[in-house]
Amino acid sequence: MHLSHLAALAAAPLLASAAPSSLETRQSVQKVTVNPATKYQPIDGFGFSAAFQRANLIVNLKEPKQSEVLNLLFNTTSGAGFSIVRNGIGSSKDSQKDYMNTILPTCPSSPSGTPDYKWDGKDSGQLFLSQKAVSFGVKQFYANAWSAPGCMKTNNNDANGGSLCGVSGASCKSGDWKQAYANYLVKYIQLYAESGVTVTHLGFLNEPDFSTSYASMLSSGTQAAEFIKVLRPTLDKANLTSVGINCCEATGWSVANQHASQINSAGALGMVYAITSHEYTSRISGTLGTKARVWQTEYSDLNGGWSTAWYSNGGSGDGFTWANTVFNGIVNSNLSAYIFWEGVQDRATNNNNNEKLILVDGQTYQVSKRLWAFAQFRVVRPGAVRIGASGGSNLKSGAFLNADGSVAVVIINSATSTQTVGISVTGAPVASGDVRAWYTDNTHDASETTVTVGTDGTASASVPGRGMVSFLVAAPGNGTVVKGL
Ligand SMILES: *[C@@H]1O[C@H](CO)[C@@H](O)[C@H](O)[C@H]1NC(C)=O
Ligand SMILES: *[C@@H]1O[C@H](CO)[C@@H](O)[C@H](O)[C@H]1NC(C)=O
Ligand SMILES: *[C@@H]1O[C@H](CO)[C@@H](O)[C@H](O)[C@H]1NC(C)=O
Ligand SMILES: *[C@@H]1O[C@H](CO)[C@@H](O)[C@H](O)[C@H]1NC(C)=O
């Protein structure tokens, strides 16, 4: 797998070279100007989920395949370099089908009773995956419950909707379970901490505007705010002040907009790290206009047949389509994170579709170009801030100032033919040897490409039609940043 890419890495410690000074005067160099003085939103990163026991597909892979798949997901030089793992906090009493089991299969008889937590040390394979992610340097783990355990809900079932007992309009004979649910979520985080994984973000709902036959719990933004006001102090008392609360995993952008304004009206927005949305029922467009960060936390093509194409016909499973989707969220809609649905999935359990980045079938796997679309964003590291970028014809460009001072520029060539792209950073001419670039198209997977640097400090590289190229420029005087990547 990916021999072309490995060969490129082996062959090329550094491909940048001094350019003929005539380069800029050659025809059709599309210039993109990056302006670090124009600052937009902070970036947390990019990620995927392995919920619903999909992580077990990786657990069950034998070496070397297991390491290969982990590298494809997490490696910042040979894979997608994902920096966020979204884990499902189980609510089911057992692990039948692909259900995620809960740490509280049976509730105490009243909300103030002592809970009898059961930890299996596996968490549907997600603990293993998370520990592996830690070994790659991943620092963001988003623990996200689809539902409270059934015994805390109006319908006494973790599936089929129902509400958390104790939020407005949801009173239960057994009492108010808000505090018990908050304690339960804290316990889950503590169990992960004991296993070497620091949960950094916590969600307590998934698609609360949609009732399903699997784990689901209904909530408005107003009801969510009532719970947030219990959860925040519970986290703080447990010395988990640094855990950010995310809410509410709406099925789509327009519902997320309602959540954001309801939580704000209820006075709980200041307790929220990120407003989270999926893109199933309405796509992301414009900005939510909230002071909180905004994350897209789950989306995929659920309909098309399994595809590994970068560009076939612009279909919703194409890698190029995904390059544009992620770009749109981050550059046009002020997102601080973009998280794909499943990282891996088999052929049998679900439709043979594109809801995964990597198809894992027993001991074999196939990588989609959707993964390489995300890999083009790996130059943008957690803690970056988006900065100004503009110019060029038929180009979409986004630029980011990383925390180490390096500048990442991601560019999609919307034209159908090859273009030469030249980037210049305002106030900081690029030095030869301080820049690298990688590209993806139908036949390349984030392959390194030659960068030429003109005497005026413009760094240029060629990008195929319907291709994507990403530049990484070292902070002035710090070429070690890019050399080491
Ligand atoms: C990432 O991939 C590169 C290239 O294959 C390899 O040298 C490096 O060891 C990998 N990193 C990790 C953490 O495995
Ligand atoms: C609280 O957490 C911090 C790290 O977030 C840790 O350094 C400190 O020891 C913890 N304190 C207690 C009392 O557990
Ligand atoms: C972008 O997001 C930040 C939070 O990350 C927020 O402060 C800012 O107001 C948002 N800008 C727009 C235009 O929505
Ligand atoms: C260069 O980058 C490295 C890696 O991020 C960092 O540790 C170092 O402080 C930087 N040096 C300068 C002079 O900015």
DSSP characters over 179-248: HHHHHHHHHHHHHHHHTT----EEE--SSTT---SSB-----HHHHHHHHHHHHHHHHHTT-TTPEEEEE
Each residue's pLDDT tens digit, 164-211: 999 999 999 999 999 999 999 999 999 999 999 999 999 999 999 999
For residue 479, what pLDDT is reported? Answer: 76
Residue 16 Cα to ligand 4 midpoint, Å, equals 20
Global model pTM greater than 0.75: yes
Nearest atom (ligand 1) to Cα of 70: 14
Residue 484 Cα to ligand 1 midpoint, Å, equals 12
Rounded CA gap, 147 and 103, in Å? 13
- The answer, yes or no, to whether any atom of ligand 4 lies below 6 A from the CB of 14, is no
Nearest atom (ligand 4) to Cα of 475: 14
- The answer, yes or no, to whether any atom of ligand 4 lies below 6 A from the CB of 478, is yes
- The answer, yes or no, to whether any atom of ligand 4 lies below 6 A from the CB of 383, is no
- The answer, yes or no, to whether any atom of ligand 1 lies below 6 A from the CB of 71, is yes
Residues 6+ apart with CB under 8 A from 331: 386, 396, 398
Each residue's pLDDT tens digit, 43-64: 999 999 999 999 999 999 999 9
Closest residue by Cα to atom 11, ligand 4, is 478
| Contact yes or no for 424/35 (Cβ under 8 A) | no
Q: What is the mean pLDDT of each run of 10 residues along the chain (485 residues)?
A: 31 39 58 97 98 98 98 97 98 96 97 98 98 98 98 98 98 97 98 98 98 97 98 98 98 98 98 98 97 98 95 96 98 98 89 93 97 98 98 97 96 97 95 94 97 96 98 86 71
User: What mean pLDDT value characterizes the chain?
Assistant: 93
- The answer, yes or no, to whether any atom of ligand 1 lies below 6 A from the CB of 75, is yes
Residue 400 Cα to ligand 4 midpoint, Å, equals 17
Residue 404 Cα to ligand 4 midpoint, Å, equals 6
| Contact yes or no for 184/115 (Cβ under 8 A) | yes
Closest residue by Cα to atom 8, ligand 2, is 239
Nearest atom (ligand 3) to Cα of 288: 14
Run of H or E residues at 21: none
Closest ligand by atom to 41 CA:
3
Residue 241 Cα to ligand 2 midpoint, Å, equals 10
- The answer, yes or no, to whether any atom of ligand 2 lies below 6 A from the CB of 416, is no
Residue 339 Cα to ligand 2 midpoint, Å, equals 29
How many CB atoms are closer than 10 A to CB 169?
A: 9
Residue 414 Cα to ligand 4 midpoint, Å, equals 35
- The answer, yes or no, to whether any atom of ligand 4 lies below 6 A from the CB of 480, is yes
Closest residue by Cα to atom 4, ligand 1, is 78
Residue with structure tokens 């319908």? 155
The alpha carbons of the chain give a radius of gyration, in whole angstroms, of: 23
Rounded CA gap, 307 and 287, in Å? 31
For residue 482, what pLDDT is reported? Answer: 79
To test the pocket of ligand 1, the residue of 2, 66, 75, 131 to mutate (highest count of ligand atoms within 8 Å of its CB) is 75
Nearest atom (ligand 3) to Cα of 334: 1
Rounded CA gap, 126 and 55, in Å? 5
Closest ligand by atom to 242 CA:
2
Pairing of strands 452-453, 17-18: parallel
- Is the bond preceding 42 in cis, omega lying within 30 degrees of 0? no
- The answer, yes or no, to whether any atom of ligand 1 lies below 6 A from the CB of 77, is yes
For residue 11, what pLDDT is reported? Answer: 34
For residue 484, what pLDDT is reported? Answer: 66
Closest residue by Cα to atom 7, ligand 4, is 404
Rounded CA gap, 432 and 437, in Å? 13
For residue 440, what pLDDT is reported? Answer: 98
Give me the domains of the chain, ranges plus CATH numbers: 8-41+385-473 (2.60.40.1180), 45-382 (3.20.20.80)
Each residue's pLDDT tens digit, 92-132: 999 999 999 999 999 999 999 999 999 999 999 999 999 99
| Contact yes or no for 395/419 (Cβ under 8 A) | yes
| Contact yes or no for 81/375 (Cβ under 8 A) | yes
